[in-house]
């Protein structure tokens, strides 16, 4: 069964150059075909994904439409990389798109914004320890620059505190951040809230959205204490690395999702004189 | 502070990840839509007259994020397979752990149909 699929694919490389209707040469091989062919069609309303000539749908049955071409290609690549079994836990972008399309918890835009800003009260980079001394210094060296960058960029005050109640965030800070987050559309807000939940920090998420931090840097800063303990006591691959890679994957998916949902591209060609 | 490195490195990493993804399915990676889109995007943003091009930086950041996504998914799945993918041991294996062997009963056990 596999060999017949491969022969068709290799010998039929010209099939890929024909219009989409030419791909119907592969017959359906039962409910779960082993190597499905993916394609995406650019219609007017948005981009759709077809798996084996059947359109992809969300868990609630809606048609899967995304606003951006790059996002559609990334989702199609995710589906393409599935082999014998469909591992939904590796398809983070698909999950995010499904959440945005279905909105299963049925939250409004301001509820999402409020949930994200609420994280500032318990932000990771604002919570400091008092001992051991090396960890205190590490937190100061790594987290203070990020906080001061955020304070400069948004003109707000975010302190850090060692008390158990956390930092006291003035109301003006909250307002500024709420109005900043309100400038994103609904899809991007789902992504932002996802990243905030993963990193447990709003400041780091803002750094990612403003291209100030890379994903690896943000994950490292979020896991600063864990990395400190790993350096001291050793690394356990099946726990630490596992969690690290999962956190990186989710954060990268969320960040990419937000960027792709809130951008618009326009290419201007300059005329060459002479 | 976003230390992204050189775009060439990101590009090569992306090609590598695409190769890994498509090696398992047997398709040449140059046929995939992802490869074509990336080639177009990288080429389009290469030539610009501005010294500090924000769009270029944004594209590079998105490419680096996508690379991080692909890489970490691959390593996560590999770690899962290696450490968490074994499932339960069978009865024979569990007996073999302590040096015992299940008895051979050619006639079947008495209570089995």
CA angle centred on A68, ends A65 and A73, rounded to 5°: 85
Distance of CA B111 to the CA centre of its chain: 48
Q: What mean pLDDT comes out for the span A226-245? A: 92
* Residue A21 pLDDT level (bands cut at 50, 70, 90): very low
CB nearest A249 (choices: B1, B24, B72):
B72
Q: And the tokens for A268?
A: 């201007």
CB nearest A90 (choices: B27, B77, B79):
B77
The verdict on A9 touching B (C-beta cutoff 8 Å) is: yes
* Residue A84 pLDDT level (bands cut at 50, 70, 90): confident
CB atoms within 10 A of CB A230: 15
pLDDT of A67 reads 86
**ipTM (interface pTM):** 0.79
CB pairs under 8 A between A and B: 112
Q: Do B68 and A214 touch (CB under 8 A)?
A: yes
Q: Write the burial class of residue A102 (CB in 10 Å: 0-12 exposed, 13-18 middle, 19+ buried).
A: middle
Q: Is the pLDDT of residue A3 over 80?
A: no
The verdict on A245 touching B (C-beta cutoff 8 Å) is: yes
pLDDT tens figures, A258-273 = 999 886 655 555 555 5
pLDDT of A271 reads 58
Q: Do A76 and B33 touch (CB under 8 A)?
A: yes
Give the predicted TM-score (pTM) of the model: 0.80
Those of residues 32-71 in A touching chain B at CB distance below 8 A are 35, 38-40, 69-70
C-beta of residue A211 within 8 angstroms of C-beta of residue B57: yes
Average pLDDT, chain A: 80
Q: Write the burial class of residue A126 (CB in 10 Å: 0-12 exposed, 13-18 middle, 19+ buried).
A: buried
Place of tokens 């948005």: A46
* Residue A83 pLDDT level (bands cut at 50, 70, 90): confident
pLDDT of A269 reads 55
pLDDT of A110 reads 87
- Comparing A87-91, B16-20, B87-91, the range with the smallest average pLDDT is B87-91
Rounded to a whole number of angstroms, the distance from the CA of A17 to the nearest CA of chain B is 10
CB nearest B69 (choices: A73, A242, A252):
A252
Residue to mutate among A10, A80, A223, A273, with most B CBs inside 10 A, is A80
d(C-alpha B76, C-alpha A267), whole Å: 37
Q: Do B79 and A92 touch (CB under 8 A)?
A: no
pLDDT of A166 reads 77
d(C-alpha B53, C-alpha A184), whole Å: 23
Q: Write the burial class of residue A219 (CB in 10 Å: 0-12 exposed, 13-18 middle, 19+ buried).
A: buried
Q: What mean pLDDT comes out for the span A15-22? A: 34
pLDDT of A23 reads 29
The angle, 0 to 180 degrees and rounded to 10, between the axes of the packed helices A133-154 and A224-233 is: 160
pLDDT of A161 reads 82
Strand ranges inside A92-236, DSSP E? none
* Residue of higher predicted confidence among A39 and A199: A199
pLDDT tens figures, A111-141 = 889 888 888 888 888 888 888 889 999 988 9
C-beta of residue A57 within 8 angstroms of C-beta of residue A64: yes
Q: Is the pLDDT of residue B89 over 50?
A: yes
């Amino acid at each position: 069964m596999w060999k017949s699929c491969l022969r068709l694919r290799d010998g039929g490389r010209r099939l890929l150059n024909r219009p989409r209707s030419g791909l119907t040469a592969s017959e359906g091989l039962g409910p779960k075909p082993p190597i499905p062919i993916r394609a995406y069609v650019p219609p007017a309303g948005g981009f759709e994904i077809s798996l084996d000539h059947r359109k992809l749908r969300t868990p609630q049955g809606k048609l899967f439409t995304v606003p951006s071409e790059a996002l559609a290609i990334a989702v199609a690549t995710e589906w393409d990389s599935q082999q014998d079994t469909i591992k939904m836990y590796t398809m983070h972008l698909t999950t995010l798109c499904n959440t945005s399309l279905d909105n299963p918890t049925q939250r409004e835009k301001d509820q999402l914004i409020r949930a994200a800003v609420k994280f500032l009260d318990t932000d990771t980079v604002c919570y400091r320890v008092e001992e051991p001394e090396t960890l205190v210094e590490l937190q100061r060296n790594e987290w203070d620059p990020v906080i001061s960058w955020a304070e400069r960029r948004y003109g707000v005050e975010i302190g850090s505190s060692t008390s158990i109640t956390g930092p006291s965030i003035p109301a003006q800070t909250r307002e500024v951040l709420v109005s900043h987050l309100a400038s994103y559309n609904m899809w991007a807000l789902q992504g932002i809230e996802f990243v905030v939940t993963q990193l447990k920090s709003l400041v780091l998420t803002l750094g990612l959205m403003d291209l100030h931090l890379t994903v690896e840097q943000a994950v490292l800063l979020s896991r600063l204490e864990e990395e400190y303990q790993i350096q001291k006591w050793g690394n356990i691959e099946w726990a630490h690395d596992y969690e690290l890679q999962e956190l990186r994957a989710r954060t990268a998916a969320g960040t990419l999702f937000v960027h792709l949902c809130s951008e618009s591209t326009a290419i201007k060609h300059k005329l060459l004189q002479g | 502070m976003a230390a992204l490195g050189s775009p060439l490195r990101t590009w090569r990493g992306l090609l590598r990840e695409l190769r890994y993804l498509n090696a398992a399915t047997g398709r040449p990676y140059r046929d995939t839509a992802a490869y074509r889109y990336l080639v177009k995007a990288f080429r389009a943003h290469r030539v610009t007259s501005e010294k500090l091009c924000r769009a270029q930086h944004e594209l590079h950041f998105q490419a680096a994020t996508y690379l991080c996504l692909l890489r970490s998914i691959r390593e996560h799945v590999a770690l899962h397979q290696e450490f968490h993918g074994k499932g339960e041991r069978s009865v024979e294996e569990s007996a073999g752990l302590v040096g015992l062997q299940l008895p051979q009963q050619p006639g079947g056990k008495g209570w089995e149909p």
